[in-house]
Amino acid sequence: MCLWFWATFGNVTGSLINWILGRYFLQLQNKIGFPFSQDEIGKAQKTFLKYGVWTLLLAWLPVVGDPLTFIAGVFSPCCNFWCWFHWAKVFVILWF
């Protein structure tokens, strides 16, 4: 039980760090060498706002979850992220 607790704690903490990094990512867009144009960011934001909330239900997946939580930090408000993220975690915890 103790191992399960620490694994869940580490998973949630890692997702939170990814989300925080995503929140500050767009502050770098005016720097030289930023890899995305304004058009690409706008297109990605439109796509995320359409499908992104539902993709956060997959935030518990080992490989896919980290980029999803980072992108959620970039494009979604805090409330949406935490609501969907915690529902996904609760579902996985109850499933196992």
For residue 49, what pLDDT is reported?
82
* CA distances in angstroms from 35 to 19, 24, 38, listed in the order given: 19, 15, 10
Summarised one tens digit per residue, pLDDT across range 57-75 is 777 778 888 888 888 888 8
Q: 61, 91 in Cβ contact below 8 A?
A: no
pTM of the complete model: 0.72
Q: Which residues contact 76 (CB under 8 A, 6 or more apart)?
A: 48, 49, 52, 53
Domain boundaries along the sequence of the chain: 51-96
In this predicted structure, what is the pLDDT of residue 39? 92
Q: Is the pLDDT of residue 41 over 60?
A: yes
